[in-house]
Chains A and B, each alone.
Chain A
Amino acid sequence: MRFGKGWVFRAIALSALPGIASCSGVQSALSPRGVEALRIDPLFWTSAAVGLAVTLMVVILVAAALYGPPRWRERLSGDRMLIGGGIVLPIIVLTGLFTYGLLVMQAGAVRGEQETDATVTITGKLWWWEVVYEGPDGKAVLSANELRLPVGRPVRLRLESDNVIHSFWAPQIAGKLDMIPGRTNEVVVEATEPAVSRGQCAEYCGGAHALMAFYVVAMAQAEYDAWLAREAGPAVEPVSEEAARGREIFFEHGCGACHQVRGTEARGVIGPDLTHVGSRKSLAAGMMSNDAQAFARWIVDNQHIKPENKMPPFGQFSEEELSALAAYLDSLE
């Protein structure tokens, strides 16, 4: 009966699933904090429970077919069993699940149709995210690698790409949706509580696909409005001498050719907008914490931190220059 033991073990492992789920992290679909994700969550648990039941049933039937008393085995070998278990049962179970799935999908589709007062356009880049908000005056507000959401308000995400296919996935908020060149995919999302969660590109996009993440910051409406107003404004002037020196270095070395810092001459559009880079949760699309040291490391060593990324490493700075540059960038809050 060694077989029986193996299967019992598996069944225990399966039933341990809820335990594991409760300790899951910031990128987990099992700790939903958005309307879409919350709707999918019970669908998952329902289908997982049905699946577990079906698996157990098959295990028990096989065990009975192998070791059961002759009367059971005779019953099991009849045509009735075949038609009941192989056709009728799956049709009933699948119809139930399918209907439930369809209802959840329909709810999402209906939300997609509704009017929203906030729209964010996110464009997949190699390998980071360009995020464009609609500012208070209707003007586009350029940002990157982070999505801020007002809690309790539906927000329309417009997902695009101008290079290869990416897929935008913030598991706590909603399911994923692809970013396909030549198309705009839209989804309406709504965060249900203020929290920071993480998302990641889910469609393999070559090179540094594994290193293309972002944070989602859900905040109360008032805070969000205040943040958006700040984000729409130009970059702050350097406050320290070191930061001012850093700004000079930034322009001397042509950083502005690729990066934009609104309110300055830096108007590059190849790399992420840096106007308020210091206030973001992370650097390098979710790869590093955001502090002066991280800026310095990134500038010198970015090809090691994120191989194949489009920024060349700048190894020519003296330690002093580097720290000034990092201080400037860090000050851009």
Chain B
Amino acid sequence: MNEVRELPNEAPRPANELEELERAWKLPTGFRLITAVNNQVIGILYIGIAFLFFLLAGVLGVIMRTQLAVPENDLVSQDLFNQIFTVHGTTMMFLFAVPAMEALGVLLLPQMLAARDLPFPRLSAFAIWAYIVGGLVFFSTIFYDLAPKGGWFMYPPLTLKEYSPGDNADFWLLGIGFIEISAIAGAIEIIVGVLRTRPPGMSLTRMPIFAWAMLIFAAMIMIAFPAVILATMLLEIERSFGWPFFTADKGGDPLLWQHLFWFFGHPEVYIIFLPAAGLVSMIVPAMARRPLVGYRLIVVALIGTGFFSFGLWVHHMFTTGIPALSLGFFSAASMAVAIPSGIQVFSWIATIASSKERFRITTPSLFVLGFLFIFTVGGVTGVMVALVPLDFQVHDTYFVVAHFHYVLIGGMVFPLFATFYYWIPMVSRKMLSERLGRWVFWLMFIGFNVTFFPMHITGLIGMPRRVWTYPDGLGWNTLNMVSTVGSYILAAGVALFVIDLFLRFRPTMENNAGDPWRAGTLEWLPTGAYSARSIPFVTSREPLWDNPNLGTEVEEGRHFLPGAPTGERETIVTSPVDAKPQYIIRMPGPGWAHLVAAVFMAAAFLLLTVKLVTIALICAVISIAACIVWGWQLDHGPGKGEVDIGAGIKLPTYMAGPRSHAWWAMAVLILVASSLYIAYVFSYLYLWVVSPEVWAPHGSPDLPGFGWPLGTALLLIAGTGSMVLVRRMLPAPGGREPAIPPMLALAAGCLLAAFLAEVWGHWMTGLRPAQNSYGAMVYMASVLNFQVVFACVVLAGFAIARYLTGKLDAERRVGYENAALLYYYAAGQMLLGLVLVHGFPRLAG
């Protein structure tokens, strides 16, 4: 890239260039604003709704504290209290914490990367709308006695039909399961966004720490969320159809749920914490006016945290009677995860110490300092509960309640408030009040500690968590009263913040308050609806510190892509490691299809909850149709040729194959699907370990003969072959190859037939899914297969339609490639399933 020496480009800009750019990125007006996809707009909507859920769940928290202020209180009934704490925890974790972090990804990442938008603007918008509709309906169940009451971790058997009749638990399973799907959509967006839409020159080692944190965050979501999605599927299927995954009498095991849930649930804590730590790593250097000390170590620490966090889930299960050897292993892993956190804490301290003059005490830095203290205490108590014998005492008591509020409020909410005060000038005409901000901070900091610190002691002197009342005379009265008073102080702090928002937060894309902190990263470039006017060439981690004129140069269009050469929305796609420009991605603008898809998909899930199956199916069909319409508008083809992005670099405006962002997104989706399947394989083997007596051939009908799996495998291989051949036969643009539609149909047909053969083979042996856990697991493999088979059939049909309308050829082939990629995965998953389901019992039996 020698050419880049020519930047900033001194030549005068063409007269109508800026107008073209503005036209391409223009926001829809009036009620059509809901069709907008610009990341600043939907990012603010996203974070706003997440914050709303924080307030709502916070109110529930205050109600609980009020009920517990005095012993034997009957302000809130037992049943309502059980619903309240379930909804409080569920909302805070699923509807506030994770979405808030994804929202910051949507809002901040493109700005930090000086990208015009995330690579799949409509996918983000889809995920957000699905979350808004699903989340609001879920939360509203608390108002009409329909809310789940099994606790946020929903342990069976309590959540099985027998002990939780009614639809309450189903709202959790379907509602939250659905929102997790939306979180995964967001994660795909973030991974592809971070890896492929960085500005030219921003190699991985020059990436802002927040981008690193979000990358690891998204990777963790891909691995962790499928486990809980599988768990919710199993539980919902057991509730609805009686497949006994968790019923001990029929070979199931309630602990299977706990393993799956905590395999998700523990990483979840770090999924929430890592982005927050990333935010702190952005704010601290800005306030110190010095680069972060130990950037590389912090990256290693973030990766290390992500890695370790998958090895600790059993520490939520220390009291379930697991053998001492595994307890020791998980105890060690739980303590080891403290080390990466230690690295980060010391790096922040070092950066503070390295400040130019002194570290500036602003509202964001107060929240960061408050975070440092609270998080340290939470970390320390975390080490305490990782000590197995000590956990035997404090597990499921208020000590743990105190511990995880220190970790979560300290580790996530305080950095989030720092973020609000720090980044609001980027998206608002006015910044928030520094004066009110100090009040907000001190009220929250004092209120928080007064609420939660005493809970350590309350727990040690015997108070279990999740109790709606407690008797007088156990020595818990004073501590509980103090906690309640503290919660009011904390609530007052949050309320004051809301007032500050009303007074000063005025969202804007053009006339923001600018950079009051004089920070070094790209999100502080001057922006419009199109984000940065031109995309800078990046040579360091703090480009604005190293080149004080960069803002002006960018604003004058003297860097890359200063206009809209294709006349549409576009941004530069760069290579994943060293960020060399590769092509121009043409991005969709506002639209209705993704919105309809989101709303109707949410409706389908919610109607399924209340067992209105027919209407739910109609909604699902509408949603899928909307997805097809949405997809139809993509894959523009190479019609616009190459464009000049400045500095003499010409880039193509179309890409298919492994370099294209669509291919990457599909690859990430396949990783998610394989995580789901691996969780299934684990569950299958786990239940076998627990109940080998129900397994074939002794406890269940003999497996179908070898002919069945062999035939199924042949179908899969034939289908795959057909799919491979299609790639070779794709005609040159304008050409025809009449064999393509039948070949694609053949591939889809083979897949469908393989799926049916697998189900039919087992059915013929007399095995039924409700019979025992073995039968349930055997048919569950086909349930998972059905998901991918269904998607493959739809995609194959889509590819056929693209061909028939002349939109599929050897160059314009994204539609085919997505179908093929998923197809190969589906075939692979089903082959693995055959080996497991038909091979394992024969080996083990």
- Please report A residues at the B interface, Cβ cutoff 8 Å: 2-3, 6-7, 10, 13, 17, 20-21, 23-30, 36-37, 39-40, 43-44, 47-48, 50-52, 54-55, 58-59, 61-62, 64-68, 72-79, 81-82, 85-87, 89-91, 94, 97-98, 100-102, 104-106, 108-109, 163-165, 167, 169, 171, 174-178, 180-183, 185-186, 198, 200-211, 287, 307-308
Q: What residues of chain B lie closer than 8 Å to A29, measured between beta carbons?
A: 393-394, 460-462
Contact A26 B395 (CB under 8 A): no
Contact B321 A307 (CB under 8 A): no
Most A Cβ at <10 Å: residue of B249, B319, B372: B319
Most B Cβ at <10 Å: residue of A29, A75, A208: A29
A27-B474 contact given A62-B372, A77-B354, A206-B82, CB 8 Å threshold = yes
A94-B339 contact given A68-B353, A203-B396, CB 8 Å threshold = yes
Q: What residues of chain A lie closer than 8 Å to B384, measured between beta carbons?
A: 44, 47-48, 51
Contact A101 B390 (CB under 8 A): yes
Contact A206 B464 (CB under 8 A): no
CA distance A247 to B339 in the complex (A): 66
Contact B331 A102 (CB under 8 A): yes
Contact B388 A200 (CB under 8 A): no
Q: What residues of chain B lie closer than 8 Å to A59, measured between beta carbons?
A: 373
Residue B349 at the chain A interface, CB threshold 8 Å? yes
Q: A315 to chain B: closest CB distance in Å?
A: 20
Contact A62 B349 (CB under 8 A): yes
Contact B464 A202 (CB under 8 A): yes
Q: What residues of chain B lie closer than 8 Å to A48, measured between beta carbons?
A: 384
CA distance A7 to B453 in the complex (A): 13
Which residues of B (324-348) have their CB < 8 Å from a CB of A? 324, 327-328, 331-332, 335-336, 338-339, 342-347
A13-B453 contact given A55-B376, A171-B462, A206-B158, CB 8 Å threshold = yes
Contact A182 B253 (CB under 8 A): yes
Contact A62 B369 (CB under 8 A): yes
Contact A30 B390 (CB under 8 A): no
Among candidates B163, B332, B389, B445, residue contacting A108 with C-beta atoms closer than 8 Å:
B389
A174-B392 contact given A29-B460, A86-B342, A86-B345, CB 8 Å threshold = yes
Enumerate the 8 nearest inter-chain pairs by beta-carbon distance, A residue then B residue, closest first. A175-B392, A182-B248, A27-B462, A210-B467, A76-B353, A77-B354, A51-B380, A185-B321
Q: B366 to chain A: closest CB distance in Å?
A: 8
CA distance A98 to B158 in the complex (A): 34
Q: A150 to chain B: closest CB distance in Å?
A: 22
Query: Residue of B at shortest CB range from A112?
Result: B324
CA distance A40 to B465 in the complex (A): 20
A-B contact pairs, 26 of them (CB 8 A): A6-B446, A24-B461, A25-B461, A25-B473, A27-B462, A28-B475, A44-B393, A65-B349, A65-B359, A66-B352, A66-B358, A67-B358, A74-B353, A77-B353, A78-B350, A86-B297, A91-B339, A165-B157, A169-B396, A171-B393, A171-B462, A176-B393, A177-B321, A180-B248, A198-B462, A209-B82
Which residues of B (274-332) have their CB < 8 Å from a CB of A? 293-294, 297, 301, 319-321, 324, 327-328, 331-332
Q: What residues of chain B lie closer than 8 Å to A17, measured between beta carbons?
A: 457
Contact B349 A61 (CB under 8 A): yes
Contact A163 B163 (CB under 8 A): yes
Among candidates B79, B351, B373, residue contacting A308 with C-beta atoms closer than 8 Å:
B79
Contact A206 B164 (CB under 8 A): yes
As a 0/1 sequence over residues 349 to 384 of chain B, the CB contacts with chain A under 8 angstroms (1 = contact) are 111111100110100001001001100110011011
Contact B78 A207 (CB under 8 A): yes
Which residues of B (588-629) have their CB < 8 Å from a CB of A? none
Q: What residues of chain A lie closer than 8 Å to B411, measured between beta carbons?
A: none
CA distance A73 to B248 in the complex (A): 61
Most A Cβ at <10 Å: residue of B82, B393, B474: B393
Among candidates B78, B386, B387, B442, residue contacting A208 with C-beta atoms closer than 8 Å:
B78
Among candidates B319, B324, B463, residue contacting A106 with C-beta atoms closer than 8 Å:
B324
Which residues of B (440-486) have their CB < 8 Å from a CB of A? 442, 445-446, 449, 453, 457, 460-471, 473-476
Query: Residue of B at shortest CB range from A54?
Result: B380
Among candidates A65, A198, A307, residue contacting B79 with C-beta atoms closer than 8 Å:
A307
Contact A204 B151 (CB under 8 A): yes
Contact B79 A209 (CB under 8 A): no
Contact A47 B383 (CB under 8 A): yes
CA distance A206 to B388 in the complex (A): 26
A51-B353 contact given A79-B294, A85-B346, A165-B157, CB 8 Å threshold = no
- Please report B residues at the A interface, Cβ cutoff 8 Å: 77-79, 82, 149-151, 155, 157-158, 163-164, 248-249, 253-255, 293-294, 297, 301, 319-321, 324, 327-328, 331-332, 335-336, 338-339, 342-347, 349-355, 358-359, 361, 366, 369, 372-373, 376-377, 380-381, 383-384, 386-397, 442, 445-446, 449, 453, 457, 460-471, 473-476
Contact A206 B149 (CB under 8 A): yes
CA distance A101 to B389 in the complex (A): 7
Q: What residues of chain B lie closer than 8 Å to A185, measured between beta carbons?
A: 320-321
Contact B319 A73 (CB under 8 A): no
Contact B254 A180 (CB under 8 A): yes
Q: What residues of chain A lie closer than 8 Å to B475, measured between beta carbons?
A: 23-25, 28
Contact A178 B319 (CB under 8 A): yes
A180-B255 contact given A169-B464, A175-B389, A307-B78, CB 8 Å threshold = yes
Q: What residues of chain B lie closer than 8 Å to A54, measured between beta carbons?
A: 376, 380
Q: What residues of chain B lie closer than 8 Å to A201, measured between beta carbons?
A: 464
Q: What residues of chain A lie closer than 8 Å to B346, measured between beta carbons?
A: 81-82, 85-86
Contact B461 A66 (CB under 8 A): no
Among candidates A65, A105, A186, A210, residue contacting B327 with C-beta atoms closer than 8 Å:
A105
Among candidates A55, A62, A108, A171, residue contacting B352 with C-beta atoms closer than 8 Å:
A62
Q: What residues of chain A lie closer than 8 Å to B347, measured between beta carbons?
A: 82, 86
Q: What residues of chain B lie closer than 8 Å to A169, measured between beta carbons?
A: 396, 464
A101-B388 contact given A55-B377, A202-B397, CB 8 Å threshold = yes
Among candidates A37, A98, A105, A176, residue contacting B324 with C-beta atoms closer than 8 Å:
A105
Q: What residues of chain B lie closer than 8 Å to A163, measured between beta carbons?
A: 157, 163
Q: A329 to chain B: closest CB distance in Å?
A: 22
Among candidates A7, A30, A97, A167, residue contacting B319 with C-beta atoms closer than 8 Å:
A167
Q: What residues of chain B lie closer than 8 Å to A47, measured between beta carbons?
A: 383-384, 387, 390
Contact A204 B158 (CB under 8 A): yes
Q: B703 to chain A: closest CB distance in Å?
A: 26
Q: What residues of chain A lie closer than 8 Å to B462, measured between beta carbons?
A: 24-29, 171, 198, 200
Q: A48 to chain B: closest CB distance in Å?
A: 7
Query: Residue of A at shortest CB range from B354?
Result: A77
CA distance A16 to B342 in the complex (A): 26
Q: A47 to chain B: closest CB distance in Å?
A: 5
Among candidates A44, A90, A183, residue contacting B342 with C-beta atoms closer than 8 Å:
A90
Contact B464 A164 (CB under 8 A): no
Query: Residue of B at shortest CB range from A3?
Result: B369
Q: A265 to chain B: closest CB distance in Å?
A: 30
Query: Residue of B at shortest CB range from A166?
Result: B158
CA distance A48 to B453 in the complex (A): 13
**11 new A-B pairs (CB below 8 Å) besides A58-B349, A82-B343?**
A43-B389, A44-B390, A48-B384, A74-B354, A82-B297, A86-B342, A86-B343, A87-B342, A91-B339, A164-B157, A210-B469
Query: Residue of A at shortest CB range from B469?
Result: A210
CA distance A43 to B462 in the complex (A): 17
Most A Cβ at <10 Å: residue of B249, B332, B352, B386: B352
CA distance A203 to B316 in the complex (A): 12
Contact A180 B320 (CB under 8 A): yes
Q: What residues of chain B lie closer than 8 Å to A106, measured between beta carbons?
A: 324
Query: Residue of B at shortest CB range from A14?
Result: B453
CA distance A104 to B248 in the complex (A): 32
Among candidates A77, A100, A167, residue contacting B351 with C-beta atoms closer than 8 Å:
A77
Contact B254 A182 (CB under 8 A): yes
CA distance A304 to B347 in the complex (A): 56
Query: Residue of A at shortest CB range from B379?
Result: A54
Q: What residues of chain A lie closer than 8 Å to B354, measured between beta carbons?
A: 73-74, 76-77
Among candidates A7, A40, A75, residue contacting B390 with C-beta atoms closer than 8 Å:
A40
CA distance A180 to B690 in the complex (A): 13
